[in-house]
Amino acid sequence: MLTLTRAVRVHAWAAPIDMRRGFDGLSALVEQQLGKELLKGDVFLFTGRCRRKAKVLYFDGTGLVLLSKRLFKGRFARPWVEEGQLSVELTVAELSLFLEGCELAGRWQLSPPAFEEKELALTS
């Protein structure tokens, strides 16, 4: 069970990957291809070519966590991205839907945008 706050950013890798990759192989994709810092606490989602397997990689503050899920029926949704993008950003709620096998996750924005502190401040 992932216990993540709404402030966590989730990046879904757009292309299928070799699901034999582990901590080091996926970390290299994140840092070298996406140019992201793995130790910042963001979550990274990867799917295989047949989209029956998915892996989630993140740093929990003490070490790297690698979760793997295989569907017995159906396939994971294809991460829908614009031309030329390496990844698509999802919310934590969309990640949860994705891992449950929902076909809508990643295709349409399902969650409202995050609030900024200045938007929450009351005006006098």
b/e burial code for range 46-68 (CB count within 10 A of at least 16 → b): bbbeeebbbbbbbbeeeeeeeee
Overall number of domains in the chain: 1
pLDDT tens digits, 24-71: 999 999 999 988 988 888 999 999 999 999 999 999 889 999 999 999
Report if residue 5 sits inside a domain. no
Helices (H), the chain: 23-28, 92-99, 117-120
pLDDT tens digits, 91-119: 888 888 888 888 765 555 555 566 566 65
Report if residue 100 sits inside a domain. yes
Structural domain range at position 98: 10-120
Report if residue 1 sits inside a domain. no
Report if residue 2 sits inside a domain. no
CA 28 centroid distance within chain: 16
